[in-house]
Amino acid sequence: MISKQGMKRTICYQGIPGAFSHIAAQGFFGNQHTFTGLSTFYDIFKEVEKEKADYGVIPVENSLAGSVVENYDLLYTHNVSVTGEYYQPIRHNLLVRKTTQKEKPIALKEIQKVYSHPKALEQCVQFFRKHRHMNPVVYNDTAEAARFIASTEERNIAAIASQEAATLYDLDIHKVDIQDNPNNWTRFLIITSLHRKQDILAHNTMYKCSLMFTLPHKPGSLHSIIGIFANAHLNLSKIESRPIHGTTFEYVFCIDVEFHSHDYSLVRDLIQSCVEMTNEIKVLGYYRKAHIEK
C-alpha cells in the first residue's frame, strides 16, 4: 500500500459508492481519503493527468471475464504512471427492495428482471440458466443498479451488486454469491500523474514493472523482447496486445515483469536494452506486487 499517513488524498474511480471499484479504492488506500465517483474510465485518466485527482483506481482484468481492454488503450494514450495494484474479490448478490410490514417478502419465482453491469451479468450465467424466468437487463454499474432498485416501487425486479451496495441503498440480500465461480477476482491498477514523486522501493520485496511497446514488423521481434527477460530468469505475469487506433493491424503490447527489489537495476538495464529493438517503449511504472488474500 502507498504510505500516506496523515495526508488526505483525492482518489477517483468509475461508478458510485458501493461499486466494486469504490470498494477496491477503499481497500487499497483506507477510508480516510476523499473518494470521487466518475462516469467513465476516460474521466479518471483526465482527472489524474490534469492533477485534479491524486490517484485513480482502474480495473484491468478479471479472473473470469478477462482483460478490461478499454483501460489498456487508455494507459497507452494518456500520460499517467502506474504506482500500485490491488486484487478485489468479486461476490455478486441478488438484491431486492425492502418490503414493508404489510407486504410479503418477494419470492424468487416472482422476480422478472435483474439489472446490473454487463460484466456482472456475464459472471452469473449459470444463475440465469437455472432461473430462466428472470431476464438480465444491462445497467451502467452494479451500484447504480442497486440504487435504481431502491428508488422504485416495483416488486418484481432485482439487482446484482455487492453487499456494500445493499447496505448503502437499504436493500435486502435475497441470495448471496450467485456468481458462476467463487474464485472471482478483479485486478485494479492505481494510476497517478507523471509529476508525482514515486515511492522508493522497499528492501526484500517483490515488485512489478509494467511496460507498453510497439515493434517493427519482422519475424521474431516479440520473441526477442520476451527472451531478454526470460534469459534473466524474470517472470512475465501478463502479456496483452491491443490494436493501435488509426492504424491497420498494428499493435501495442503490454507486459508485466515480476522482480525482486534487489533486481531493480537489472530490470532497468534490460528495459534500456529493449529500446533499440522497439519502435516505441513506455514504462508505465514500478510498483509493489499485490497478493490475493484468500
Q: Give the residue numbers marked as catalytic.
A: 186, 188
Per DSSP bridges, beta strands 66-67 and 206-214 are: unpaired
E-only strand ranges, 90-226: 93-97, 113-116, 135-138, 157-161, 171-175, 185-193, 206-214
d(CA 2, CA 4): 6
CA 131 and chain centroid, separation: 29
- The CA-atom distances, in angstroms, between 57 and each of 29, 34, 35, 168, 169 are 10, 13, 10, 21, 23
- Classify residue 124 by its DSSP letter: T
Q: How far apart are CA 18 and CA 138, in angstroms?
A: 17
| HEC per residue, 232-278 | CCCCEEEEEEEECCCCCCCEEEEEEEEEEHHHHHHHHHHHHHHHHHC
Q: Which residue has the cell 483506507?
A: 30
Cβ-Cβ contacts under 8 Å for 60 (sequence gap 6 or more): 67, 68, 71, 72, 187, 188, 189
Backbone angles phi, psi at 213, to 5 degrees: -155, 155
Distance of CA 213 to the CA centre of its chain: 21
Grid cell for residue 166 = 445493499
